[in-house]
Copies of this chain bind each other. A is one copy, B any other.
Amino acid sequence: MCGIVGVVGHPEASNLSYLGLYALQHRGQESAGIVSTDGDRLFKIRKKTLVVDAFTNDSFKFLKGSSAIGHVRYSTTGQNALKNVQPMIATGGFGNVAVAHNGNITNFRDLKQIMEDQGALFQSTADTEIILHLLAREPVSDLKDKISQTMAKLDGAFSLLFLTPNEMIAVRDPWGFRPLSLGRLENGGFAVASETCAFDLIGARFERDIEPGEILVIAHNGTLKSTRINRKASEAKCVFEHVYFSRPDSFVFGKSVYQSRKELGFQLAKEHPIKPDIVIPVPDSGVISAMGYAEAMNVPMQMGLIRNHYVGRTFIEPKQSIRGFGVKVKLNPVKSILEGKKVVIVDDSIVRGTTSQKIVKMVRDTGAKEIALLITSPPFLSPCVYGIDTPSKEELLASQFNVEQMREKIKADYLGFLSVEGMYKTLNFERSLFCDACFSGTYPTSVDLNSL
């Protein structure tokens, strides 16, 4: 999970990029970076911290120029060393180029081996650097052509923004795993972002999605030129963007995420029509689906769990540990709501199952009489290799146990998931155009799970 943003043709490009990154903070909280250009040089600031802490007024004096790209990172490939923080810059025969990358390249190791044999030097352990090396070695001179040919060699997910002194280039992999949208600034300039919520904050109007396989060159003077990656692939958009990743106020793959969440709640009611006293969401991601479920079942929703908004912080727990600390630092149960009640808890997914177990225990300890846990997605069976940080297959609860066994582990009185079919039906999505490897185990590209 990462978020990327780009701005072309605005006198305060780096400041707008920073605001865009702030809107995308939910996509990565480990580091933030911006590279800008004044048409001559590239300027870079990268920090291993939150967006609001990474930049000051002085940052924007330093990040000169009318074009910029930015990146927030949640590390997948490569440890979280500063050398792996993005955007990355390299200098080669093509001059200076910066790149920001959302996704994960699955044939990374093979490509790196080939490069090393040819004498390439690496500065980072990130898959993003391989893209720059491939570009440098592509025997054509035009950067756009280099990109077109390089991208054809990459397997996996990559929504990319390149920045040079002359242009910004937005690229989306042929499968279209991760979203990437084009917007128009009020002054006529362009913006590109992982999610449209970034446009709202900077006053940009959504124009269209960058298409799967598209290479869109936005010259600093504002001219657009669209070409395509020289590789055929069938679309495989990430359905989990709607279930969990994206912000509800974003418009992703042509649809409102808020709407999707609501519909998942409706479908949950169809598949698991329990009549509880109250429905409570696991905030924030479960709120809208819980509203849908409550509305469909005509039972009241209550905020039975209050969320502490700590955004990516680590807390220092006392050595003499506090019961349920890990979950309580994020969620606090409201006794007056839960006491003596038959409760439905709505959450988006179960990965390892440890958090679900803690939530159920905490809600029961607070006095709930009966607890059903309903999940707005199917069982999470297989790791994601396209840019989401998931544990190995063995650690995924659903890969080891059936639903009844999972219910026992989690100690809920009832456990219900959405069916894959129900999910697609309610979302009105054409299944063949989406990747649901995490639910189905079927990967759209060839993947060796052991080598990752």
Please give the count of copies of this chain that the complex contains: 4
Residues of B near A91 (CB, < 8 A) are 121-123, 125
* Residues in chain B near residue A197, CB distance under 8 A: 306, 332
Q: Which chain A residues numbered 306 to 335 have a C-beta less than 8 Å away from chain B?
A: 306, 308-311, 313, 315-320, 322-323, 325, 328-329, 332-335
Q: Name A303's contact: one of B117, B251, B287 (CB within 8 Å).
A: B287
- Return A57 CB to nearest CB of chain B, in Å: 6
- A328 adjacent to B90 (CB under 8 Å): no
A122 and B90: CB pair below 8 A?
Answer: yes
Q: Which residue of B lies closest to A203 (CB)?
A: B322
Q: How far is the CA of A136 from the CA of B133 in the complex (A)?
A: 14
Residue A445 interfacial (CB < 8 Å): no
CB distance from A350 to the nearest CB of B (A): 24
CB distance from A103 to the nearest CB of B (A): 21
Scan residues 115-140 of chain A and give those whose CB is less than 8 A from a CB of chain B: 116-123, 125, 132-133, 136-138
How many angstroms from the CA of A288 to the CA of B287 in the assembled complex? 13
Residues of B within 8 A of A329 (CB): 19, 22, 201
Q: Are B322 and A202 in contact (CB under 8 A)?
A: yes
Chain A window 259-293, contacts with chain B (Cβ cutoff 8 Å), 1 for yes, 0 for no: 10000000000000000000000000001100100
CA distance A249 to B336 in the complex (A): 9
A120 contacts B123, C-beta separation under 8 Å: no
Q: How far is the CA of A86 from the CA of B247 in the complex (A)?
A: 38
**Are B303 and A258 in contact, with the CB atoms below 8 A?**
yes
Whether the Cβ atoms of B12 and A318 lie closer than 8 Å is: yes
A28 to chain B minimum Cβ distance, whole angstroms, is: 15
Whether the Cβ atoms of A23 and B308 lie closer than 8 Å is yes
Does B337 lie within 8 Å of A258, measured CB to CB?
yes
Q: Is A177 an interface residue (CB 8 A)?
A: no
Residue A52 interfacial (CB < 8 Å): yes
Q: Does A256 touch B at the CB level, under 8 Å?
A: yes
Query: Which of A196-224 touch B at CB < 8 Å?
Result: 197, 200-203
Is A119 a contact of B133 with CB atoms below 8 Å?
yes
Say yes or no for A302: interface residue by CB 8 A criterion. yes
Which B residues lie within 8 Å of A370 (CB)? none
A106 adjacent to chain B (CB < 8 Å):
no
* Residue in B closest to A12 when the chains form the complex, CB atoms: B318
Given A291-B303, A309-B311, A336-B256, the answer on whether A123 and B90 have CB atoms closer than 8 Å is: yes
**Contact status A52-B310, CB under 8 Å:** yes
Taking A52-B313, A121-B90 as contacts, is the C-beta distance between A15 and B318 under 8 angstroms? yes
Query: Chain A interface (Cβ within 8 Å of chain B)?
Result: 11-12, 15-16, 18-19, 22-23, 25, 52-53, 55-57, 60, 89-93, 116-123, 125, 132-133, 136-138, 186-187, 197, 200-203, 247-249, 251, 256, 258-259, 287-288, 291, 295, 300-303, 306, 308-311, 313, 315-320, 322-323, 325, 328-329, 332-337
Chain A to chain B: the 10 pairs with minimum beta-carbon distance, closest first? A119-B137, A256-B336, A309-B309, A12-B318, A90-B121, A93-B116, A119-B136, A249-B306, A91-B122, A203-B322
Q: Given A91-B121, A119-B136, list of 9 further CB < 8 A pairs?
A: A18-B316, A19-B322, A52-B310, A91-B125, A121-B121, A197-B306, A197-B332, A201-B329, A203-B322
Q: Can you report 5 residue pairs joining A to B where beta carbons are below 8 Å apart?
A: A19-B322, A55-B316, A119-B136, A121-B121, A291-B303
